[in-house]
Chains A and B, each alone.
Chain A
Amino acid sequence: SQTIHQWPATLVQPVGSPLSLECTVEGTSNPNLYWYRQAAGRGLQLLFYSVGIGQISSEVPQNLSASRPQDRQFILSSKKLLLSDSGFYLCACRRVPKREQFFGPGTRLTVL
């Protein structure tokens, strides 16, 4: 079975600073990868997904971007953080053709 790692676990950043969150997957190859965000007290918002290296689909226009430089690595970035970027960021993986997604432990981002 797959294991999903997210780094860092928690992060406190000032407004206007850059961001890089990393997600790596073990135990599978050619997965679909996903970035979600949970704002405080709210549900999950899909930010990006990727079906392969270099292939990124954006679901919500914002100041975030994603990249997939390797098959099992998914990176979420920002050049300048906003207060509204605070939240719990979750990476997920789907082993095609299976339908279910599996989630990593998450990164708690606080923008001050």
Chain B
Amino acid sequence: AQSVTQLDSQVPVFEEAPVELRCNYSSSVSVYLFWYVQYPNQGLQLLLKYLSGSTLVESINGFEAEFNKSQTSFHLRKPSVHISDTAEYFCAADDAGNMLTFGGGTRLMVKP
């Protein structure tokens, strides 16, 4: 069965600083990877996805993630964070079944 590990439960960072949220998944023949963002008392929003092709994927609000097969990682990065990026971030993996496997989540706290 697929497993997803988000190593950091909380990441505090100052505004305009860079940030990396780490995600590792268990190896699988084929895997599709996702990052979701959740603001307080809201549902999850799809931030970006890796299905195939280029290993670097980007979102419209400046986040990017790189699929690294050899390290089984899909870390999320942003070169300069804003206060509005404060949220919970979930990494998820799909091994071509019907279900997503989610990591435990990382709370990003951006300080002024």
1/0 contact string of B34-69 vs chain A (CB within 8 Å): 101000011111100101000000000000000000
Is A102 a contact of B46 with CB atoms below 8 Å? yes
The docked-state distance in angstroms from the alpha carbon of A77 to that of B88 is 28
Indicate whether A46 reaches chain B with its CB closer than 8 angstroms. Answer: yes
* Nearest-Cβ distance from residue A44 to partner chain B, whole angstroms: 5
User: Which A-chain residue is minimally distant from B102 (CB atoms)?
Assistant: A44
* Nearest-Cβ distance from residue B58 to partner chain A, whole angstroms: 16
Is B90 a contact of A44 with CB atoms below 8 Å? yes
Is B98 a contact of A101 with CB atoms below 8 Å? no
Indicate whether B87 reaches chain A with its CB closer than 8 angstroms. Answer: no
- Our pick among B34, B98, B103 for the contact of A32 (Cβ within 8 Å) is B98
- Our pick among A46, A57, A90, A100 for the contact of B49 (Cβ within 8 Å) is A100
- Our pick among B41, B94, B104 for the contact of A99 (Cβ within 8 Å) is B94
* Nearest-Cβ distance from residue B32 to partner chain A, whole angstroms: 5
Indicate whether B100 reaches chain A with its CB closer than 8 angstroms. Answer: yes
Indicate whether B29 reaches chain A with its CB closer than 8 angstroms. Answer: no
The docked-state distance in angstroms from the alpha carbon of A57 to that of B42 is 25
User: Which A-chain residue is minimally distant from B6 (CB atoms)?
Assistant: A43
The docked-state distance in angstroms from the alpha carbon of A44 to that of B94 is 15
The docked-state distance in angstroms from the alpha carbon of A51 to that of B51 is 21
* Nearest-Cβ distance from residue A2 to partner chain B, whole angstroms: 12
The docked-state distance in angstroms from the alpha carbon of A32 to that of B36 is 18
Interface residues of A in 60-104 (CB under 8 A from B): 88, 90, 92, 94, 99-104
* Nearest-Cβ distance from residue A58 to partner chain B, whole angstroms: 12
The docked-state distance in angstroms from the alpha carbon of A72 to that of B69 is 36
| A–B pairs, 7, beta carbons within 8 Å | A32-B98, A43-B103, A44-B105, A94-B98, A100-B46, A103-B43, A106-B41
